[in-house]
Structure 1
Amino acid sequence: MKVQELQKFGIDPEVIKIWVKKESPVLLPIQEEAIKQYKILEGNDLLVSAPTSSGKTFLGEIAALYNIFRRRKVLYLVPLKALAEEKYKDFYEKYDGFGIKVVLSTGDRSEYDAAILQGDFQLAVLVFEKMNRLLIRNKGIINHCGLVIIDEIQMTTDDTRGANLEMLLTQILASREKTSQNVQLIGLSAVIGHVNQLDRWLGMTVLASDKRPVELQEGILTRDGTFKYREFLSGQVGIEKFPEFVPDPRINLRSPEGRKEYQYRRLAHVVSHLVQQGEQVLIFRKWKGLTRETAFRLGMDLNLPPAQEALSALKDVENSVSKELLMAALSHGVAFHNADLSSEERRVIEEYFKEKDSKIRVVCATSTLAMGLNLPVNTVIIHDMEKPDPDAKTFQEVPLSTTEYKSMSGRAGRFGIQNKGRSILFADTPAQFSIFWRNYIDGEFPKMSSHLAHSNLLQETLLLIASELCSTQEEVLGFFRRSYAGYLHWNQSREIGAHEPVSLQNKVERALKVCAENGLIKETSVGEWKPTKLGKICALQGVSIFSFLNLLQLLPEVNPLDYHPWELLFLATHNREIEELYFRLSLAAFESGEYPRAVQDLNPPNWVTLLKKSEELLGDRYETTRHLKMSLVLLDWMEGIDLREIEFKYNKDYPDKAYGGVIRSLAENSSWMLETLAEIADAKQYDAEFVRGLKILSRRVLYGVREEEVELAELRVPGLTRENLHRLAQWGYTSLEAFAEAEIGDLQRIIPRELALQMKEALQRKLTQGERQRMESQRLRLEKLGLDASPLMNLYRSADLKSFAESVANLIRNLKREWVLQRVGKSEEGVDYILRPDRRDPVVGRPAAPLRIKDPGAPYVPLDERGPEPGAGNKEPLPTPGSKLQAPGFLRILPPQEKEISLEHIAEILSVAANYIPASIVLVGKPGFSRGATEEVQQLSQAYSVNIQLIPAQELGERYVEVLEGQRSLNRLFE
């Protein structure tokens, strides 16, 4: 089936062109089967289980666009932030130019959250956890969508994300049951060995395929150079001969160092052969350090030509240990890819590795690269068959699972790029060969299972109460029985088994008790459970209850009227989620006391009590010192200190270890906790300035910048480093407005021209999206009130002075029906109105005070019919307005896009307005006013003791809606 044939399903020809160019002119078998036999474009729910490279993702994309062209919104849900960023980038680049609104929401990307909550999107990409959090704020999100796509749905079996995904899926099912709207579900999964009733629970039809568009040879390479493989598609077993590897007899294979050296030389021998054959190679290592070490050594040993374009692209990236090693490896055509690299560094590696005739011939990566990232490669080498156990309290390794192996091996051979792929394991003995073949080449795909079944249900119960999905114990029990765990276990006559002695009811009772005892929920007089303010915050922020309670206990130790930022950083590190980071503190550094001394030198007002409370919570002075180190790193980070300098300062005991990834992860975690602290402080009615300080600190920590650099950092432009932001701030570019007004010629003297252009484009998108989001929010609020939104929409749609002035006048008349808005003048400078009462004062219910003019006895004469006014153009103060004037007397509507107001212009406005002695002068502009104009007006307003207000059109629209909602009094329309 040709992609062109999708036009008959209503897909626009322009989108078809995009697909033909970016994907393929012909659909893959699984895509054609899903459309023709499984009727995926007719609303049928489908669970697609297929290997990597089979075309699952594009199948979901086709269904998404089909729904969008039928005015239905689409949610695309993924497990990982990196995967969400990649999908968003791909969808945005394909469809934004066509006019499809694509948005993104992850733990640290919230700029589109309001749009998602209000339904102002067409395709939204979200991570599982963030979707759960947004549903707490608006349970109706799903009901307003036509399609929900769950990528990597097999993650229900995952230890860390399985319970979150299952809760999300259960909410989707519950939401579908309560509405007549048919929301389509599509689940995308790697090959599943046994569906285990997941399809029945979800009500999905299964489309299972073990076909790949490109053949994959999975095999094992032995010492003598024999590569025995089995073809994934045909099942045929074959042998390929590699040059024999002869180990150096001087290597002592009995020692750990000797075995490590032997394994590296064997790897280098094979990689050298493959590269000489013109292949690109992807090597998976179990640790970040091993990816760096392997890439660096291979670069030196293979001595390939430099990847010059990638090197040039990385030139301006912030300095770090990882960057230095990466540049060294790239100078010999090799790279590594791990969590220590910045997103910009990873983007460069991915982009240049994919290029035709790429100079990057080898990439060494950690297994996290295996999920979802589309890197075309001929051969995958899985070097390590064990990995660190993330659940072990002390260091311990466990074998790779079959699932992990299949995910990594499946990276080899990509459709449209290679004819076949090859994955290689190494075996030194017949026993190893047999074990690896049985468990990996012949290994069975996993059976689906529920991780929620093994949860204590504490976090999940709070989520249900906070989202108001459930309000009684019976409703909570009913929800869990509706889950996959309930379908498999809790709805049966028996529980999970001997290893699960606690019943579902006991778990829920305990969860409710713990939440209530800690003030997160409360029971009403009628026996219903309701979330407290704090409980709602905990659930909305997605913070573990344990961490949330730690923050609650530590916050009172900080004096909101006298504190140092370090105190809040230190407080924020006390959370369970941070323990997922491998943040080191050497015994020597602990015993030296350098970090307590550093804090003592800072001398924060509350540091003694904070340290004492920390030791009580952590139960260990070593742990408190480790958290001290974290907070000091964060303090330097947000002050913009060079990353390489921070690594050197705090990593002296591990000088060859990269620290950048840990620092960035620490910053993301702490930013999250600081945001949570701000919400807690606000709920507890702390001083508003303290709450504001917490929010600013959260953003500073996230980006690692000073306060004046935050606005531009939030543009998130690739290549916009902290150093670039600092240079811009030094030249006065500390706000979006200041940057918008800057000329490219001026900017390119500070930062690279291409970066300046990208920032300008990002700023334009942000401003456009911001106006659109606000417009849609205001429109939706009016529609919920059952009111006509057309006067408001005309305000946003008006493009010239005439239509803009009419829209503003109509908006005001729509509110102040007892008042007369009278036009008194029009010129190129704007349209002038006076606002005067008609008959009775609607505010006080008595005859209205007449609008005061200079000669109270003279009849009113419109401005354009008068002769020259004596003294016009003077800068004398306006007369004091009368006390009975209840509304602004003078209104000037400025031409759209006029952001600047000169001194001469202000003088002219004052002169004209003086004819009517108004209580205030209001200038309405679109979209808004420059910072310079605002400052000029403020200064003149103070100098002349006149109330002059600048109101952007968006702000006027907001005030209009607030008045109709009853949130703002009519008199305060122009305050």
Structure 2
Amino acid sequence: MKVDKLYQYKIPEIILNSWKQNQGDTLLPLQTQAVTKYGLLENQNLIISSPTSSGKTFCGEIAAVAKLSQRQKVIYLVPLKAVAEEKFSDFKTKYSDLGIKILISTQDHFENDLDLSNGNFDFAIVIYEKFNQLLIKNVDILKQVALIIIDELQMLFDPHRGPVLELALTKVVASPNKPQILGLSAVLQESNGISPSNNVTKLSSWLDCRLLVEKTRPIELLQGVLYQGLFRFKKFNSGEESSEDFLDLNGGHPLEILFANIEKLVAEAEQVLVFLKSKAEVEAGSLILSNRVSWLRAGNAISEIKELEPTTLRDKLINSLEQGVAFHNADLTYPERKMVEKFYLAGEIKVIFCTTTLSLGVNLPAKTVFVETLKYQNGESGQRSVLIPLSWSEYENISGRAGRFGREQNFGRAISIATNQFEANCLWENYVEGKSEPLTPQLKTLGWEELLLDLTSCFLTTSLPNLKNIIAKTLSYQNCKINEDSLRETVQNLTQKKLLLSDETGNLKISALGKIFALQGIAVETGVYIQRKLKQNPEQNSIYGESAKAETISWVYDLLHSKEGQQIYAPLSFEEEKN
């Protein structure tokens, strides 16, 4: 389908010309299907599941611009601040000159909260948590919104971000106001033998979406394992298996194998992304490689970073950039991350060592991606972080950075390094030949008290039967028998704690304190504890005297044992642990 044909959907010619200049005259097959067969521009709810670089993000852009051209509002949901910043910068560059009011809502941009809540925007890029807060404050904002785009929809099944995204989408599903929904994911797959109750079909039914699944990429991707100097791979599109010679270091250390082959690829004029399991290893890897090589310095990048506010990592980054190497992790400031991205895309930076943040939507492509298939995850109850394997979905997102459409003409490589035959076999079976994990909604991990507070906060008044009906509309509790006695007991507990208010007819409404708990995502137990401490004798809260010091220590100790406090792990140095 020619881009010009989108004119029939009332997309302005000036935008079509811009798209032709940047995207080409013809839509990709996925985009054509979405428009002509799946009702993307005809208000049809749709989930697009397709590999990275297949064009699904531009489907979202097409749908958004079509709504904006009709003076309708659009909300674009993303999981991470880094992704939100990248999308905001991209859309602002493309469309703000047309008079479209674009805003971003993350924890770093509280200045936009009032405009967002009042609907004073055309296009809003919002992280999941802020979107749920928005609906708690003003669920009627949905009357003004014509399209909600959910990027990385598979995060609905993530143990950490899944519950809040499901709470937000439940409010959309239960609302009488029905904006169009467009879900985007690279890793959602059809059942593949998994029970239908746990697959993407159930999700599409819950959101009342049609499902568009594409399984090929415009640019071929070679996913495989490097062992003893041989890169054995499988082609993503064709499934054909083959191999390619790399450097063999006769059983050398994995980092030596990694660095030697990076040098080989850069000598062949390639750019490389390296995904490692921790922020510390990302920084160390960048510095070690920069000390090994004699490449052209990233002079423009160094000049630009020296103009930025000094930070703890600036000198490390400059040292790496002296050889055209960089690192990218959450400890860099936003301007530093943008500087790294800018000069990588310009070709001045040859190699970036990065963490998994880059795998979720930030558009930094490479011919070759090295993937360490491990990650750190916080231990239970805030204990030391534990090392666990990447999921297949995470591997797919990371490996998909290779061979991006528009950057590479032939193919991309995703390489994992093995040090023995057993490891090579495991990597091949679990990732190259891997399958999507069962999709398990995560809302049931949220306590009943927190769930009821969140849902009640959207209403002036409600009732127990109404709350039961809304819970039944969640993805997690759909088709589940809800214990009404437990529900009633939870309501009574919240009423006793004055977080819910009840009248003689059984009508319920949230109290001012309860709304604060819901807005901030504070566990009821933690919030009640803080409330009780604040009500104590003011003299006990004085900053003077030994008793005040003891009281402060007690506060800190108790808060660290709260539900939220147990999720915090403060890493200690060797000396701190020894003492």
**1:286 touches 1:388 (CA, 8 Å); kept in 2?**
no
Counterpart CA distance in 1 for 2:57 and 2:426 is 33
**Structure 1 position 9, deviation (Å):** 1.5
**Structure 1 position 611, deviation (Å):** 3.6
Counterpart CA distance in 2 for 1:391 and 1:302 is 41
**Structure 1 position 470, deviation (Å):** 6.2
Q: How does 1:444-483 map to 2 (within 5 A)?
A: 444-468=435-459, 471-483=462-474
Matched, 1:508 2:479: no
SS across alignment from 1:124: strand
Correspondence for 1:579: none
Counterpart CA distance in 2 for 1:652 and 1:398 is 22
Paired letter, 1:87: K
**Structure 1 position 149, deviation (Å):** 1.2
Counterpart CA distance in 2 for 1:558 and 1:371 is 49
**Structure 1 position 543, deviation (Å):** 3.5
Correspondence for 1:847: none
SS across alignment from 1:220: strand
**Structure 1 position 395, deviation (Å):** 4.0
- Given the superposition, is the C-alpha separation of residues 526 and 384 from structure 1 closer, same or farther in structure 2, using an over 3 Å criterion? same
2:496 pairs, out of 492, 499, 517, with 517
Correspondence for 2:398: 408
2:412 pairs, out of 418, 421, 431, with 421
Counterpart CA distance in 1 for 2:545 and 2:100 is 52
Paired letter, 1:187: G
Correspondence for 2:515: 536
SS across alignment from 1:218: strand
- Given the superposition, is the C-alpha separation of residues 215 and 394 from structure 1 closer, same or farther in structure 2, using an over 3 Å criterion? same
TM-score when normalising by structure 1:
0.55
1:198 pairs, out of 196, 203, 206, with 203
1:214 pairs, out of 199, 219, 237, with 219
TM-score when normalising by structure 2:
0.90
**Structure 1 position 433, deviation (Å):** 1.4
Correspondence for 1:226: 230
**Structure 1 position 553, deviation (Å):** 3.7
Correspondence for 1:925: none
- Given the superposition, is the C-alpha separation of residues 607 and 160 from structure 1 closer, same or farther in structure 2, using an over 3 Å criterion? farther
**Structure 1 position 615, deviation (Å):** 3.8
- Given the superposition, is the C-alpha separation of residues 46 and 622 from structure 1 closer, same or farther in structure 2, using an over 3 Å criterion? closer
**2:460 touches 2:509 (CA, 8 Å); kept in 1?**
no
Counterpart CA distance in 2 for 1:22 and 1:469 is 48
Counterpart CA distance in 2 for 1:623 and 1:146 is 43
Correspondence for 1:967: none
Counterpart CA distance in 2 for 1:607 and 1:60 is 59
SS across alignment from 1:490: coil
Q: How does 1:583-598 map to 2 (within 5 A)?
A: none
RMSD of aligned alpha carbons: 2.7
Counterpart CA distance in 1 for 2:499 and 2:20 is 53
**1:3 touches 1:25 (CA, 8 Å); kept in 2?**
yes
Counterpart CA distance in 1 for 2:547 and 2:394 is 47
Deviation readout 1:425-481 (Å, 9 max, x if unpaired): 111222111111111001002332211133323222111222217622222111110
Counterpart CA distance in 2 for 1:33 and 1:558 is 67
Q: How does 1:640-719 map to 2 (within 5 A)?
A: none
Counterpart CA distance in 2 for 1:69 and 1:20 is 18
SS across alignment from 1:112: helix
**Structure 1 position 25, deviation (Å):** 3.0
**1:615 touches 1:621 (CA, 8 Å); kept in 2?**
no
Counterpart CA distance in 2 for 1:387 and 1:313 is 32
**2:373 touches 2:395 (CA, 8 Å); kept in 1?**
no
**2:373 touches 2:389 (CA, 8 Å); kept in 1?**
no
Counterpart CA distance in 2 for 1:547 and 1:330 is 45
Matched, 1:155 2:175: no
SS across alignment from 1:165: helix
**1:520 touches 1:534 (CA, 8 Å); kept in 2?**
yes
Correspondence for 2:194: none
SS across alignment from 1:435: helix
Q: How does 1:897-916 map to 2 (within 5 A)?
A: none
Matched, 1:378 2:378: no
- Given the superposition, is the C-alpha separation of residues 605 and 192 from structure 1 closer, same or farther in structure 2, using an over 3 Å criterion? closer
Q: Any unmatched runs of 5+ in structure 2?
A: 192-199
Paired letter, 2:551: K
**Structure 1 position 506, deviation (Å):** 5.5
**Structure 1 position 514, deviation (Å):** 4.0
SS across alignment from 1:240: strand
Counterpart CA distance in 2 for 1:523 and 1:381 is 58
- Given the superposition, is the C-alpha separation of residues 151 and 622 from structure 1 closer, same or farther in structure 2, using an over 3 Å criterion? closer
Counterpart CA distance in 2 for 1:380 and 1:230 is 15
Paired letter, 1:363: I
**1:152 touches 1:188 (CA, 8 Å); kept in 2?**
yes
1:605 pairs, out of 543, 549, 552, with 543
Counterpart CA distance in 1 for 2:349 and 2:53 is 22
**2:374 touches 2:387 (CA, 8 Å); kept in 1?**
no
Matched, 1:59 2:59: yes
**Structure 1 position 618, deviation (Å):** 4.9
Paired letter, 1:416: G
**2:278 touches 2:375 (CA, 8 Å); kept in 1?**
no
Counterpart CA distance in 1 for 2:455 and 2:235 is 48
SS across alignment from 2:139: coil
Counterpart CA distance in 2 for 1:543 and 1:621 is 12
Counterpart CA distance in 2 for 1:264 and 1:470 is 60
**2:82 touches 2:357 (CA, 8 Å); kept in 1?**
no
Correspondence for 2:105: 105
Counterpart CA distance in 1 for 2:94 and 2:71 is 19
Correspondence for 1:436: 427
Deviation readout 1:650-693 (Å, 9 max, x if unpaired): 99969xxxxxxxxxxxxxxxxxxxxxxxxxxxxxxxxxxxxxxx
Correspondence for 1:21: 21
- Number of corresponding residues: 558
**Structure 1 position 172, deviation (Å):** 0.7
Counterpart CA distance in 1 for 2:508 and 2:560 is 40
Paired letter, 1:545: V
Deviation readout 1:94-141 (Å, 9 max, x if unpaired): 111011111222233232333333332211111121111111222211
Deviation readout 1:162-208 (Å, 9 max, x if unpaired): 11111111111111xx24xx521111112213314111111111000
Counterpart CA distance in 1 for 2:470 and 2:439 is 20
**2:187 touches 2:396 (CA, 8 Å); kept in 1?**
no
Structure with the greater alpha carbon radius of gyration = 1
**1:379 touches 1:422 (CA, 8 Å); kept in 2?**
yes
Paired letter, 1:529: L
Matched, 1:246 2:250: yes
Q: How does 1:828-843 map to 2 (within 5 A)?
A: none
- Given the superposition, is the C-alpha separation of residues 466 and 620 from structure 1 closer, same or farther in structure 2, using an over 3 Å criterion? closer
Counterpart CA distance in 2 for 1:244 and 1:305 is 26
- Given the superposition, is the C-alpha separation of residues 652 and 490 from structure 1 closer, same or farther in structure 2, using an over 3 Å criterion? closer
**1:382 touches 1:408 (CA, 8 Å); kept in 2?**
yes
